[in-house]
Amino acid sequence: ILVIDYENRAGSRSIRVIEILEQIDSKGVFKSFCYLRNEERNFQIGRIINFCQLDEYYQYLIKVGRVNEIRDG
């Protein structure tokens, strides 16, 4: 699971937590599950500004729907 700083076609940036589902194709696009939108989305590698990997515990909290426990303290 990765956290990406992503810029869309319109130039708007957002932070996304994604899980990659498919390899990058010849156009630089890959399918991922986006936790922000709670659905599968396609991302273009060239639009990623920055990224980092989540640690295992945080990944677990996201998958079981308990990530708000961290945000709420």
**HEC letters along 55-70:** CHHHHHHHHCCCCHHH
pLDDT in tens, 20-29: 999 999 999 9
User: Any idea how long the chain is?
Assistant: 73
Quick one: pLDDT at residue 55?
A: 81
Task: Say how far apart CA 44 and CA 27 lie, in whole Å.
Answer: 8
Quick one: pLDDT at residue 65?
A: 78
Helices then strands, counting H and E runs in the chain, come out as: 2, 5
Q: Are 20 and 35 in contact, with CB atoms under 8 Å apart? A: no
pLDDT over 70 at 50, yes or no? yes
What does pTM read for this prediction?
Answer: 0.74
Residue 25 half-sphere exposure, CB side, CA atoms within 13 Å? Answer: 10
